[in-house]
């Protein structure tokens, strides 16, 4: 029987590994569709940011209570998976509690610590579920934010329920295990009671040995298969941020948030007009080349970091809840911008899978088919969304690039904007008066004094 379980376990492990690899490879390919962008400078500073923001959850603690609860789930997820290592080795080798004989009493302490984390995860996930389903936190409600309709809302609830059930499985598994130890059942290595599961032992007090073995094995398989399912599921879910938060924060912008990236080709043309340079590029010695497109129409026009941002989005809605345009009822939601970008990437990924790894034009684009003019024109470029994101995602960068495309490539700017552009071109100011009159207001003040 043990040999059969080993074989089944190895087959399942191989299947899960293949699905995770295949999915991760597709995500890597779609991210690599983006433009090149140098984010490899100042590695020490980048590593420091990653430790503080991704590992240390620094920005989550801007809201201390929620930050603490999120940290409990996060730490529990990371550390409880150390126990999963033992379960995997047990499955591969046909053993049970492989580490117990080597660690002695420390093993009980270690499992007790994992149970403490499991209790923390169970309680915290229950609170988060209540906040979503009963208290109805505004930024998570589809009635207020259309991007949360359907799967995005359900996804959050599913994963919370899933984690609650997994924690119950591991605690009851340990309780049944220790009862079997006391019965002297073979295969169950004596370890003694564990910190929290010992209080669940009365549930199994009147169970027969066979019933206990069946339940313990069921809980063992349920827990490990649940972990494996989660490993696959997370690659399709917003919870992909569990893995991508680390590289995403490492490659975040080091320049001030309010600093916009100028378009190099436009900057060079302006310098040529002002006589500050020639058409010859001083750095390369080659003539400047007019780009195929200004701004971004579809995801390949964005940078690879923009696309990583989209996959990293947690859909928490902090960006949208801070957006002044969203406050006033406009359609703009920075969270939706990121979700739409990811949806487009997912569609492209399926297209590539269908066409042997190559993208075949589907007649769609991010700008227009996923994100509307009304959304990008509502943005005030205040950077509130960038400031609020707990893992340093930059929705504004995508909005600006889409807006540049609409204005510079398609000449679709609002009339009031065109007037401002014309004034900037002729008067070097947004207002329609001569540069010679610019300081008349100061002259008037001086006369009054």
Average pLDDT, the chain: 89
* pLDDT score of 13 more than 60: yes
Residues ≥6 apart with Cβ < 8 Å to 101: 189
**More confident position, 436 or 149:** 149
Distance CA 286, CA 294 (A): 20
* pLDDT score of 284 more than 50: no
Distance CA 34, CA 380 (A): 25
- DSSP, collapsed to helix, strand or coil, labels residue 35 as strand
DSSP code for 287: B
Domain map (residue ranges) of the chain: 2-31+63-250, 264-411, 414-449
Q: What is the pTM of this model?
A: 0.87
Confidence of residue 357 (pLDDT cuts 50, 70, 90): confident
Q: Are 236 and 158 in contact (CB under 8 A)?
A: no
Cα distances (angstroms) measured from residue 12 to each of 88, 93, 223, 303, 393: 11, 14, 13, 37, 35
Can you tell me the mean pLDDT for 217-232?
91
Confidence of residue 233 (pLDDT cuts 50, 70, 90): very high
Confidence of residue 290 (pLDDT cuts 50, 70, 90): low
Lowest mean pLDDT among 81-90, 187-196, 326-335, 430-439: 430-439
CATH architecture entry for 264-411: Orthogonal Bundle (1.10)
Lowest mean pLDDT among 13-27, 166-180, 258-272, 365-379: 258-272
Can you tell me the mean pLDDT for 248-259?
91
Q: Are 277 and 269 in contact (CB under 8 A)?
A: no
Can you tell me the mean pLDDT for 414-429?
85
Within 13 Å and on the Cβ side, how many CA atoms surround 157?
15
E strand intervals along 163-248: none
Can you tell me the mean pLDDT for 399-428?
88
């Amino acid at each position: 029987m043990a040999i059969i379980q080993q074989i089944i376990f190895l087959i399942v492990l191989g299947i899960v590994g293949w699905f995770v690899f295949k999915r991760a490879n597709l995500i890597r390919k779609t991210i690599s569709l983006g433009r090149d962008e140098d984010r490899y400078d100042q590695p020490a500073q980048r590593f420091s940011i990653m430790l503080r923001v991704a590992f240390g959850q620094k920005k989550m603690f801007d809201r201390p209570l929620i930050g603490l609860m999120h940290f409990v789930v996060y730490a529990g997820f990371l550390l409880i998976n150390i126990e999963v290592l033992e379960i995997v080795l047990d499955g591969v080798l046909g053993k049970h509690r492989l580490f117990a004989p080597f660690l002695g009493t420390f093993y009980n302490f270690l499992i007790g610590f994992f149970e403490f984390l499991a209790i923390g995860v169970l309680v915290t996930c229950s609170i988060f579920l209540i906040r979503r389903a009963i208290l109805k936190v505004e930024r998570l409600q589809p009635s207020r934010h259309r991007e949360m309709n359907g799967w995005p809302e359900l996804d959050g609830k599913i994963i919370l329920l899933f984690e609650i059930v997994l924690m119950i499985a591991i605690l009851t598994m340990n309780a049944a295990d220790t009862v079997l130890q006391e019965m002297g059942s073979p295969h169950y290595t004596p370890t003694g009671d564990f910190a929290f599961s010992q209080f669940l032992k009365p549930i199994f007090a009147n169970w027969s040995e066979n019933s206990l073995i069946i339940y313990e094995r069921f809980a063992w398989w349920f827990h490990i298969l649940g972990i494996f399912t989660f490993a696959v599921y997370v690659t399709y879910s917003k919870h992909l941020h569990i893995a991508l938060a680390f590289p995403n924060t490492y490659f975040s912008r080091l320049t001030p948030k309010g600093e916009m990236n100028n378009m190099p080709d436009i900057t060079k043309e302006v310098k040529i007009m002002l006589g500050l340079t020639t058409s010859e590029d001083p750095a390369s010695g080659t003539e400047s080349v007019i780009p195929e497109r200004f701004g971004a129409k579809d995801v390949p026009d964005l940078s690879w970091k923009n696309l990583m941002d989209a996959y990293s989005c947690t859909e928490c809605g902090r960006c949208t809840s801070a957006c002044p345009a969203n406050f006033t009822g406009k359609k703009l939601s920075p969270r939706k911008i990121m979700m739409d970008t990811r949806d487009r990437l997912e569609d492209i990924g399926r297209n590539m899978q269908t066409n042997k790894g190559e993208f075949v034009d589907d007649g769609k684009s991010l700008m227009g088919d996923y994100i509307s003019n009304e959304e990008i024109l509502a943005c005030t470029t205040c950077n509130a969304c960038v400031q609020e994101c707990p893992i340093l995602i930059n929705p504004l960068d995508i909005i600006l690039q889409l807006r540049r495309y609409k204005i510079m490539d398609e000449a679709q700017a609002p009339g009031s904007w065109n007037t401002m552009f014309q004034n900037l071109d002729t008067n070097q100011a947004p207002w329609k008066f001569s540069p010679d009159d610019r300081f008349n207001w100061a002259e008037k003040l001086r006369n009054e004094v």
